[in-house]
Amino acid sequence: MHKKISTLAGFIIIAVEIIVLFGGVFAYQYLSRPVLLCWPYCPGMTDKDREQIKNEAPTASWKTFSDNYGFQMQYPPDANVMVAPTSRIVSCDASFFPNSCPKGISPGYPDKTEKETINGVNYCFYLGDNCGMGSCEIDYSYLTTKNNVCYVLDFSQSRVPTSCDNGSSSDVVQKCKSEQSANQALIDQAVSTIKFTK
C-alpha cells in the first residue's frame, strides 16, 4: 500500500533539497577559490609564493585593450577590479620626458607621480584618487611620448573602501584587506601587460 505525503511535508522536503543544493554549490565555489584571494595575508606565504601566484593568475578570460595610438593592455573583465582602459593625447612639453614628468595628467587628485619602465618603454606614472562617501575611485595614468606627442593610457579602480577597519569583526576586516590585496595583484599583473607599439 502506498503512503501519501501531505502537501506541507512535500514542500518542506523540496525546500530542504533546494537549500542543500544551493549550499553545496556555494560551498564548492567558496572552497575552490584560488589561493590568490587571501594574498598577501595567507599564513606562511613567502614573497616567492606571492610572486608565483601573481604570475599564475588566470588571464585567459581577460579582455584586450588596443587603440589607434599604439597602446595595448590586457585587463580583467570584472569592473569591480578595474574599469576598462581608455587613452588620449595630451598637451605637454615632451622635451623634458623622461627626465621629468609633466603635471596635471591624472584625472584624480595626484597622490603619486614617478617614472616607470614597462616592457622597455619609459612612462610617467600618475596615481590619483577621488574619494567620498566611504569609498574611492583610484586613477592610474601612464604617459609616454613619441615624436614630441604625449600619449596617456588611463584606467581606474572603483568602489575601493577608504578603510577596511570600520568597526566590523576581524573576519570582515581580514576579508576586506584580502580582497584589496588580491585586486591590487590583478592590477599589477594588468600593468605588466602594457605595451606601446607606435
First to last CA, the chain: 82
* Number of domains forming the structure of the chain: 1
Mean pLDDT of 162-172: 70
Q: Would you say residue 30 lies in a domain?
A: no
Q: Would you say residue 166 lies in a domain?
A: yes
Q: Is the pLDDT of residue 194 over 90?
A: yes
8 φ, ψ to 5°? -60, -45
What pLDDT score does 56 carry? 60
Q: Would you say residue 109 lies in a domain?
A: yes
Q: Which of residues 134 and 35 earns the better pLDDT score?
A: 134
What pLDDT score does 69 carry? 92
Flag the least confident range among 1-15, 110-124, 171-185.
1-15
Q: What CATH number does the domain containing 186 carry? A: 3.40.1000
Q: Would you say residue 158 lies in a domain?
A: yes
Q: Is the pLDDT of residue 128 over 90?
A: no
- Using a pLDDT cut of 70, give the percent of the chain over it: 75
Q: Which of residues 170 and 61 earns the better pLDDT score?
A: 61
Q: Would you say residue 35 lies in a domain?
A: no
Domain, as residue range, for 137: 63-196
Q: Would you say residue 178 lies in a domain?
A: yes
What pLDDT score does 109 carry? 64
Q: Which of residues 50 and 196 earns the better pLDDT score?
A: 196
Give the strand order in the sheet containing 121-132.
Answer: 83-90, 149-161, 135-146, 121-132, 109-118
Q: Is the pLDDT of residue 127 over 90?
A: no
Three-state SS string across the chain, please? CCCCCCHHHHHHHHHHHHHHHHHHHHHHHHHCCCHHHHCCCCCCCCHHHHHHHHHHCCCCCCEEEECCCCEEEEECCCCCCCEEEEEEEECCCHHHCCCCCCCCCCCCEEEEEEEEEECCEEEEEEEEEEEECCEEEEEEEEEEEECCEEEEEEEEEEEEECCCCCCCCHHHHHHHHHHHHHHHHHHHHHHCCCEECC
20 φ, ψ to 5°? -65, -45
Whether the full predicted model's pTM is greater than 0.75, yes or no, is no
Name all contacts of 33-37 with Cβ < 8 Å and 24+ positions apart: 34/58, 36/182, 36/185, 37/178, 37/179, 37/182
Q: Would you say residue 58 lies in a domain?
A: no
Flag the least confident range among 87-91, 163-167, 189-193.
163-167
Q: Would you say residue 19 lies in a domain?
A: no
Residue labelled with grid coordinates 606571492 = 50
Q: Which of residues 105 and 56 earns the better pLDDT score?
A: 105
